[in-house]
Amino acid sequence: MTPEELADGLRRRFDDVLLARGEVTVTVGRDEVLDALRALRDDADLRFTFLADVSCTDWPGRDPRIWMAYHLRSPERNLRGRLKVGLPEDDLRVASAVEVFPAADWQEREIYDFFGVTFDGHPDLRRILMPEDWVGHPLRKDHPLGGVPTQYKGAFVPPPDERGL
């Protein structure tokens, strides 16, 4: 199955299907994530049985602010697909995919840790890479980057996003 055929097939079921650079992206509403994941996994023609990756992107100042991206793989049909879900800034939560794909466990913990997204129904939602007492979510675009005080004339080297480069 070519990406074009995959996109056409998915259009019959999902409203928002995008084919770009040979990659197929399905966008669904926040409440439909688990249903969509289950449908993609169980469909006899698609068989997206492997969850390769869960990640997200932060777009402060936009709505939705966080875009979740689930990267699925169908070994049987040799396909790849991406499922995207937007989360609004004032309510960064989405259903955990662990019950559909146990592989999502650590990856969702990482997103919780780095972006502060809450996964409802996750069995063990704790920080994973940052220390437990860390304040904030470091991969958000507005997380302060610090800067370096120097001894030379008391100069302060500003963080990279404030250097005007």
Partner 1 sequence: MAAGVPDELDGAQVGRGTKAQRLRDDLLVVNMGPQHPSTHGVLRLLLTLDGETIVDLKPIVGYLHTGIEKNTEYRTWQQGVTFVTRADYLSPFFNELAYCLSVERLLGIEAPPRAQAIRVLVCELNRIASHLVWLATTGLELGAISMMLYGFRERERILDIFELISGLRMNHAYIRIGGLRMDLPDDTDERIRGYLKELPRRFDEYESLLTGNPIWLERNRGIGILDAGAAERLGVTGPMLRAAGVPRDVRKDEPYSGYERYQFEVPTRTEADCFARYEIRVSEMRESVGICEQVLDSLPAGPVMIEDPKLRWPAQLAVGPDGIGNDEGYVRHIMEDSMEALINHFKMVTQGIRVPAGEVYMPVESPRGELGYYVVSDGGIRPYRVRVRDPSFCNLPALPEMTRGGLVADVVACTASVDPVMGGVDR
Q: Determine the distance from the C-alpha atom of residue 61 to the mean position of all C-alpha atoms in its chain, rounded to a whole number.
A: 18
Interatomic CA distance for residues 110 and 69, integer angstroms: 13
Interatomic CA distance for residues 118 and 78, integer angstroms: 32
Q: How far is the CB of 153 from partner 1 (least distance, A)?
A: 25
| Residue 2 sits in the site that holds partner 1 (CB under 8 A) | no
- For 21, the token pair is 């650079």
Per-residue contact track with partner 1, 7 to 26, x per CB under 8 A?
-------------xxxx-x-
| Residue 106 sits in the site that holds partner 1 (CB under 8 A) | yes
Helix (H) or strand (E) holding 70: strand 66-74
> Applying CB under 8 A, which part among 5-13, 38-46, 88-96, 125-133 lies near partner 1?
125-133
Asked whether 80 and 73 are in contact (CB, 8 A), the reply is: yes
Interatomic CA distance for residues 90 and 50, integer angstroms: 31
| Residue 55 sits in the site that holds partner 1 (CB under 8 A) | yes
Q: How far is the CB of 48 from partner 1 (least distance, A)?
A: 12
Binding site for partner 1 (CB under 8 A): 20-23, 25, 49-53, 55, 57-58, 69, 71, 75, 78, 80, 82, 101-107, 110, 127-131, 138-139, 141, 145, 160-161, 165
